[in-house]
Structure 1
Amino acid sequence: MGSESETHNEDSHTRDGINDPDWVKTDFISNLLQELRIPLALILGPLQSILSGKLGRKVACDDDKLKMMFVNGTKLMKLINNVFDLSRIESGRMSVRKQKVNIPDLLKFCVSIIRYNAENRGLNVVFNDNTSDAGLFAVIDKDLLENAVFNLLSNAINFTGQGGCIIVQLDAAEKEYAITVKDTGVGIPQDRLESVFGRLEQPGSLSAVKHDGAGIGLALTGRIVEILGGRITVKSNVNKGSSFCITLPFGNLDEIIENAEQYGCDIIPAFPEDMALQETINTCTGKHSRQKSKPARSKKILIVENNLDVQIYLTTVLGDLYRTTTVGNGLDCLEKMRSDPPDLVIADVMIPGINGCELTEQIRKNQDFAGIPVLLLASGADSLLKGKGFQSGADDCIMHPFDADELSARVHAHLETKMMRDELSIQKEKNAELFRKNTQVKNVIRESDEKYRRMMDNLPVSVIELDIENRIQYLNHYAKKLFEVSDENLAMGIHLFDYVEPGDREIMLGNIKKLHHGEESRLNEYRLMTRNGNRISALVRSVPRLEHDNVIGIRAAIFELEPNFNVTLLPSGEFCSRFNISEREKEVLVLFMRGYSYNVIAEKLFISYRTVNTHLTNIYHKTGVNSRDQLMELIAKKMM
C-alpha cells in the first residue's frame, strides 16, 4: 500500500499509447483515487462498527451526527468508486467477467438494498417481473450490471420527492431483455435528454445544489451498458418523472467479447471460488451476528500488511474472534508461517518486497502450507487484479473498501471450509489405515487358512466343511479320494446330501440342526456314496463352524469303516447310558469294536495312546469285563 499502491498498473503501461497525455492524466486520476479510497474506508469501517454497537459503546447523544458522517462518507466513497470505474473504462482497464446470472434474482437483490433508504425518504419501491416463472438467465458481468442498476436506482431516489414511487421492471423478448427503472420525480427537460449520459450532467431540471449527485453515475451507467453490448434509453417529462431502460442481449459470448474489446477491456472468466462462497457469506452476514457465531479464539490468523492503520483496523475487526498476528512484508510472513503456522493468512496485494500474489505462489509451493487459506486484499475494484490473485492460488480476494461483516463472514467461511477439509483428510488417513490393517488381517487370515488347509491335507482322516445350507465348501486330500471328487467338481458346487444314502439323509439333517442349535457334537454312523456310486460306511464326528459366535456351517471328520466288521455289534445309546459310558468313551469303544488298534484309535480321534488306554480301562471297569470278546458278548446280549 502507500507508495506502492499502483504497482499493479505497470502491466497497463505496455499498451500502445503509453506516452499519450490522456493516459498520463488517467494514471494520475487513478492513483489519486486509490489514495483516497483507503483512508476513507478506514473512516467508514470504524464508524459502522460504532453505529451497529459492535464495539460495545453507547453513543446515543451523538448518534445522529455519527449517522450523518457515515451517510456522507458513503456518498463520497460511491462518488470515488464511480469516478474510478469511469476512468478505468476510458483507459481500457475495465475487466469483464462473464458468467451465467439469474437476472430476476439480481434485480430483487438491488431493490432490497435500496429499499430501506428509499422508504426513509417516503418513497415506495416496486419490482415487477414480467418474465416466466422459471426465471430468466443471461451470460453477463454480474458486478457491472449491478453497478449500472444501482446507479439508476440511486438517481431515482435523489430526484424523486416524498410520496413518490420507483418501479423496477423486467421484460424479455426473443433475443434480449429489458430492465426499466421508472420514477415519479422532477423529470428531465427535453433539450437535455441527449446529453444526460455525458459527464457532470444531472438528469433533473434543478441544480446539483438542491439534488445530490453530479451526473457521474449516469455517465458510468451509459459506458457500462455499451461495454456489455446493450443500449440505454431515457424518456422523461418535467415534474412527472423519468424512465430509464437498459436493453441487453441474452448472452452470446462472442458479442460480449466483441463489445468489451472495443473498449480495450479484458475478458476473464468468473471465479467459481468466489461464487461458491457467496451463499455461505450471505448466511453468515444475514442470519448470524458476529457475537452469535463467536469462536473461542482458537484459530490463528496471520495479517500481512505494511499500512499501520489497516493493520489496526483488521486487528480490531478480527481480534475479538481470532488470535491475530501482524507482519509487514512477505518474507516475514513466510518466516512466521514456518515457526508458527496459522489457520488463515490475510495479505495485501501491495506489500513491499514480494507482493501478495507472489507470496501466495510461494505459500502454495510449500506442501506444509498447502491447506492454509489465503485471502488477498486489493485496492480498487480491478477485476483483472482479482483474477491475478486467484491465478496465484488465493482462496479469496477482497477489494478495498471492504465491509467488516463481509470480511468476518468470508474469514469464517474459509476457516469452516478448511476445518471440513482437514476433517476429511484425517478421515481419509483413517480409512487408508483401516484399509491397510484390513489388508494385513486378510493376509494373515489367508496365510492362516493356507496353513490350516495344508494341515488338514496332511491328516490321515477325511475332513469336510459345509456352509449353512450344507453345501460342500472344502474337502481335504483324503476326503477328495474318499468321495472321488476333483477340484473342478468342487468349484462347480456340490451338496453334501448328493453323497449320502437317501435313507440316512433325514437322520443326518436332524443331527446337523441339533449342532446349529448348540447341542454337543456326537459320533454318528452314516451310509455314504462316492461320486461314482460306490457305497461307504463311515463314522462321522461333526462340530459347528463359528464366526463372531454365529454358526456358519459344519466341519466334520469322516472315519471309513472296514467292510468286514459287523455294524450291528456297535454299542447303542441305551447300552452306553446303562453303564454310564461318556460320549468320548463311546467314540473309543466304537472304534475298538471295529477292530482298530490303540494307535489307530488315537490317530483318528486326535488323542494320545495313553488316553485311549485310560478310556478302555474305564469301560472295562464300568461293564465288569476285561477283553474285546467279552464286550462283544455283552453288547450282543443286551441287544437280544
Structure 2
Amino acid sequence: MFSYPSYMGFVKRVLLWLLVAVTVTACHREKVKSTYTIGFSQCVGTDLWRKTMLDEMKMELSLHPGVKFLYSDAQNSSARQISQVRVMLRKGIDLLVISPNEAQPLTAVVEEAYNKGIPVIVIDRKTSSTLYTAYVGADNYQLGKMAGEYLGSTLKGDASVLEVMGLPGSSPAIERDRGFYDGIKKFSNIRIAAKVYGDWLKPNTQRQLHKIKTELPGITAVFAHNDVMASGVREVFNSLKLSPGLKIVGVDALPGPGGGLQKVSDKVIDASVLYPTGGKEAIVTAFRILNKEPFSRENILQSLIIDSANVQLMKMQWARVNSQQKDIERQQELIEEQQGIYNSQQVILNITVITLVLTIIFGGLAFFSLMENRKINKSLAAKNDEILSQRNQLIEMSVKAEAATEAKLNFFTNVSHEFRTPLTLILSPLQDMMANEKLVSLAGKNIRMIHQNSYRLLRLVNQLIDYRKIEYDKQIIKASENNIVAFVRDVVENFRMHAQKQNIHLSFSTTENDIRCWFDVNMLDKVFFNLIANAIKFNNERGKIKVTVTREDSNVVIQVQDTGVGMDAEELRQVFDQFYQAAHMPLNGSGIGLSLSREIVNLHHGNIQVESEKWKGSRFTVTLPLGETHLLPEEKSSQSGNWADLDERSKVFNSDLKKIPMLKERDPLSAPKEFSILIIEDNTDLLHYLEEKFSEYFEVYCAGNGADAISQAYEHVPDLIISDVVLPGASGKELSKGLKSDIRTSHIPIILLTAQGSVDQQISGINAMADLYITKPFNFDFLLANVRNLIKNRRILKDHFTSDISPLEKVSVSKSIDKKFINDFAGIVEQNLSNDKFSVDDICKLIGVSRIQLYRKVKALLGCSITDYILNRRLKKATYLLNNENLTIAEITYMVGFSNPNYFATVFKAKYDCTPTEYKRKAVS
C-alpha cells in the first residue's frame, strides 16, 4: 500500500542522490577545466618571431580547453627570467616550457625544475646541461645550408655574395654561417665577397652596410640571417641605387603584416628560409609527456625555401589557418557562454526536480539537448561547407599545375619520338655499310663505333619514352600466362656470347623447368635486359654472373648476382632514383635503366631489391606474384605472350657490351716520337679514338680520371696535356690549376675539351690557367693544329731560355713559374761554377725537387741535360776569362770548377777545336 512516510523517505533519498550527483558533476567539471597547468617562460616577447611562437602555442592550446596556461616575458633579462621561473615552480605547474635568454645562466633553474620531477621542454635554444625532458627547435646549420644551395642553384655565372650575420658569438649566427658556407662551396661560380654583423636588427645592419658602401657595387646576392636585416639591406641598396637585379635571401618567413611572407610577396626580398618557431610542436610534445604517450626527446623542425613560386600559397594557407583559428575561438566563446547558461539552468533544473515531476524535468533536459545538438550540427555543416570549398579551390589549382606540367612532358615526349626517325635512317644505312666487306676493311672500327653509339642513343630515347608512358601516361600492363623460366632463359642466352668474349662466366639455373606466371612479355624483358647488361658491364674479367629462378610460396623469385665492382651504402640508397649514376661507374649511362625497371616490376605488382658490397658484387632480386588474382581485368590479355623477337629487342642493350678493337701495339723496335702528349678522358670510346689519331704523330699516354692523370703527368712529364672538363675524382679545371701551380709540370701546355660552350664557362676554363678551351663536338684537324702550335711555341720559348746572346727577358704571367725556375737554376749553377764537387744532388736540395723531376724539367725547358748545361756554362766562363783576364791556364782551370788542367784542356779542345793556350794566343793577337 501507498505510505506517505515511505514516499517522503523515497523523495529524500532521491533528493540526496540528486544533490550528490550535482556536487560530483560540478566537482568533476571543475577538475576537467583545470586538468593541467603549463608554464611558458620566454626570454623576450616583443619581436615578431617570438610573438608568432606565442600565438602558435595559444592556437594549439585552444584545442585543449580547460588547461591553465601561465606566461611570462623576461624582457631580455636572464635574472628576471630565472625569478619568473621560480615563481611558476612555487605555483605548482605540471610542465615548464622555457625559451632561454642565455644558455649558462638558465641552466641551474632548468635543472632545478627537472630534478623536482617537473617535465621541462626547452625551445629554440638549449641550456648548457642535458637535464631536460625534450627539446624543440630548428637546425640553424641546415637553414644556412639551404640558403646557400638555393643561391647556388638560381645564380648564373660568377656571383659575389654579401652575408649579413646576426649577433657575434651567438650560436644561431655561427651555425647559419657555417651551413651557408657548406651550401655554396660546391658552386665554383659563387664566392662570399663580404660579411657584416647586423646584430639581428635593421638599423644596425644599415649602419654596417654604409661603412662598406664602397664594396657594395660588385655584390650580386645577399644572404641575411633574418628577414628584418634582409629588408634593411634592400633599403640601403635602393638608396645607393645599386644592383637592380640584386637577389636577397632572408630567414624566418613569418606570416602576418611585416613578416617574411609579406616581404617576399611584396618583392622586398627574393626568398626566405622558413625558421619555424616550434610553438605548436612544443604544446603537442607537452601533452604527449603529460598524457604518458611516446614522444621524441630531440624535435628538430623541418624547413623550406619560400620564394615567388610558393609564397602566395603559403600566405593563403596561413590566412586559412588564421581564419579557422578565429572561428575556433568564437566557437569556444559561444561554448563557454552556453556552458554558463547550461550550468545556471542545471541548477534550476536540479531545484525543480525537488518540486516537480521527474518526467517533466527529464523531458525538458531532452528538449534542451536536442536544441543544442541542432545548433552544433548547423555549425559543423557550415564548417564542412567551408572545408569543401577550400578543397575544391586546391583541386582547381592542382589541375592547372598538372595541365602545365603535362604540356611540358608532351613536348618532351614528342621530341624524343622525333629522335627515332633520324636514328632509324642512321642505323639502316650503317647495317648496309657493315655488310660491305670493302668498307669494313677500310673503316670497320669507325663504322662499328658509329653503330654502337647510335644504338646507345636509341636505347636512351626508348627508356625516356617508356618512363614517360609509365610515370605520366599511367600505362597498364597486358599480362598473359607464360613460362617465366623459359622467358628468362632466352633472355640470358642473348647475352651469353658477349659474356664469353669478356671471359665472364654466365650461368642460369632453376629448381623447376615450368613455372607459370602472368606477365607482359613486351615490358618485363626490359627489366632483365637491363639487369644482365649491367652485370656484364660492371663485372671484372673472369668474373661470374649467376641467374636463378625459384618458386617461393606464392611468388616466383628471379635473382641476378655478379662478382663486379659492387656498391657502397650511399649508392645503394640511390640506385633506383631517377638519373642517378655512381661516381665509379666505368661507362657512361643514362641513370634511367634501374628506375624504369622498378616501375615495370611495380606495374606487375611485384618488387625489386638489391644487396651489394663494395668490390664484392651485387645481387638484384625480382619477386613476382603467381596466379592472376592480383591483376585487374584491364591488365590481362587474352593473347598468349610471344617473345620470338627477343634477340632483336636485346640489341639496344648489348650494343654497349661490344668491344671495339683497340690500338695495335706499337713495334717496340720502331723509333720513338719526338714529342709526347697525355690524354685524359673518362669516355672510353673517345679516349681510344683520340689515342689512335694522335699516336700517328706523338707518343701518347692515357688516363681515365683525375687521380691517374696527375700520377702520369708527374711520371712522364709530357709535352702537352689534353683533358676533358668533367672527370671522376677531379674536374679538368681543378686538374689544370693543380698542374700549372706545380713547378714540376707548370711548363706543360693544357687543352681543355668540354661540352660546356657558354662564354662564361669558357672564361672559367681560361681562368683555370688552361692554354686553350675547345668545345665538343670538335674537328680533329683543328685540334691537331692547335696541339702542334702550342708545342711549337713551347720550343720557341725553350730556345729563348737557352740562348747565350741575351739575358732572360720578362715572360707572360702564365709562365712566371717557369721563369722563376730557370732563374733559380741558372743562379745556383753560376754561384757554384768554381766548385769542382758541385753535383746534381746539390741542385735538387737547393730547389726542393727530386732528381728525376729536375732532369725532366730542365730537359723540357732547356732542351739539354743538367750535366751538359753545367759543362757549357763552365766553358763559356773560361772563354770570357781567357779573353778578358790576365790569368794563367791553371788559375782559370780551378776558377771554372775543373780539378785537373789536363782534363780541362781536353774538354776545351773538344768544344772549341783548340787548346786553352791556343785560344788565348788567338785572342791576344
Question: Is the structural similarity TM-score above 0.5?
Answer: no
TM-score by length of 2: 0.26
Greater relative CO (CA pairs within 8 A, separation 6+): 1
**Higher relative strand content:** 1
